[in-house]
Amino acid sequence: MAATGLLALRTLPGPSWVRGSGPSVLSRLRDAAVVRPGFLSTAEEETLNRELEPELRRRRYEYDHWDAAIHGFRETEKSRWSEASRAILQRVQAAAFGPGQTLLSSVHVLDLEARGYIKPHVDSIKFCGATIAGLSLLSPSVMRLVHTQDPGEWLELLLEPGSLYILRGSARYDFSHEILRDEESFFGERRIPRGRRISVICRSLPEGMGPGESGQPPPAC
């Protein structure tokens, strides 16, 4: 989906972190697929990396997933955080989730190796609710969203280290999302070299699930 001609102009006004197949889908998903670049300070990125690295290092990268959605990954569900990291996650909650939304108690941490990628998928409504918000660490990447019923409708999100992405509503339910592998990692005509990427993902509670329930397989995001 490299941009040529008019497609290259179909981006949001100002610094472009979101591009898409046309003005209609960009307008419709303006508040449903959001990127906030620079959400984390350098110090906050380092805080999260220091806390996560010892836990991730104990795990091996895997090359298959329970729903075949991820390749070259290791992951964990984390509910205990340092005070500094909890403050960061509280900022995520305030920025991405409504006052009536309850979050899952565990945060999904996904570590993609440099050659790893996430295939197109829609997260099951059994495992997370209407809003997903993720912090991106270490490497830039491109997230592609494609409408499940009309593949001609798509968005691409540029996720730089320290950014926050938010998927809610139609972007969450009606579009598949994926993280492009390194050889496909372009944002328009701009090459986005992929390295190792860690995402820290907060999710709203699935409809009908109590706040204390857990044990469901995590989504791939």
Q: How far apart are CA 207 and CA 190, in angstroms?
A: 39
**How confident is the model at residue 164, as a pLDDT?**
98
CATH 2.60.120.590 fits domain 18-203: yes
Measure the CA angle with vertex 216, ends 211 and 221; round to 5°: 100
Stated pTM of the model: 0.87
Q: How far apart are CA 179 and CA 112, in angstroms?
A: 10
What are the boundaries of each domain within the chain?
18-203
**How confident is the model at residue 209, as a pLDDT?**
57
Q: Which residues are CB-contacts of 112 (< 8 A; sequence separation ≥ 6)? A: 70, 72, 73, 118, 179, 196, 197, 198, 199
What are the mean pLDDT values of the chain's consecutive 10-residue runs (221 residues total)? 38 66 94 96 97 95 74 94 97 94 94 93 85 97 96 96 96 95 94 96 81 51 56
